[in-house]
Amino acid sequence: MMPVPSHLRGAVRPRDTAIDEAALDAEVVCDCGSRRFDLLFPGETHEYRGQQIPCTAQINDRFFFLVRAHCTACGRDHLLFDKDFHGWDGFVCHNDAQASLPRPPLIPWKCLLCGKTEHEASVQIQTQGRADFVEGTEGEFDEERWPDGFEWFSMSITCTGCGKHTPEWVSYETM
């Protein structure tokens, strides 16, 4: 699997340690060892494959999408994804004006079946690989940062209350 992007080091545990350019699949794990989190998002949802999931929020003509994981055991927050900082558009095509806007308030996702906010989560990340990153960035970035220019960020989640599993709770193309 591709290396863990730098902003997620220490927050996720890959399911396989072999390094190549295949998609990353990793469990979200807090420093304290817990896998249980409240998942915070900007509050907007849309229907995807028959189910409501978080989507980009429009606030004063600006667009935001970010997800934080708040550990329910120790209280620590982990920023899992912010479209203005991570992936191809956020990292490679970084827009200082957009990124410097205050982030919108976030709310915890509630299970659609039982209403509980605590979940276990995993992230799936796809890349076009090192060669594509080097060609696309024309030498403006350290080649070793290629995992940070990923092209797709997804999450799957499982409610700790009722076990409801949502395989594509986030599916976000970053370019």
Per CB under 5 A, residues contacting Zn ion are: 30, 32, 34, 71, 73-74, 76, 111, 113-114, 116, 159, 161-162, 164
Nearest-angstrom CA–CA distance, 4 and 164: 27
Q: How far is the CB of 161 from Zn ion (least distance, A)?
A: 4
- Based on CB atoms, which residue is closest to Zn ion, 31 or 173? 31
- What is the longest distance spanned by two Cα atoms in the chain? 50
Q: How far is the CB of 52 from Zn ion (least distance, A)?
A: 14
- Based on CB atoms, which residue is closest to Zn ion, 57 or 71? 71
Task: Count Cα atoms within 13 angstroms, Cβ side, for 37.
Answer: 31
End-to-end CA gap in the chain: 20
Q: What does the buried/exposed string (b/e) look like for 3-39 if buried means 16 or more CB atoms within 10 Å of the residue's CB?
A: bbbebbeebbebeeeeeebeebbbebbbeeeebbbbb
Q: How far is the CB of 150 from Zn ion (least distance, A)?
A: 25
Q: How far is the CB of 33 from Zn ion (least distance, A)?
A: 7
- Based on CB atoms, which residue is closest to Zn ion, 22 or 74? 74
Beta-strand runs (E) in 16-141? 24-28, 37-41, 45-48, 51-54, 57-59, 62-64, 66-71, 77-82, 107-108, 118-126
- Based on CB atoms, which residue is closest to Zn ion, 116 or 145? 116
Q: How far is the CB of 172 from Zn ion (least distance, A)?
A: 23
Query: One-letter amino acid identity for 109?
Result: W
- Based on CB atoms, which residue is closest to Zn ion, 130 or 164? 164
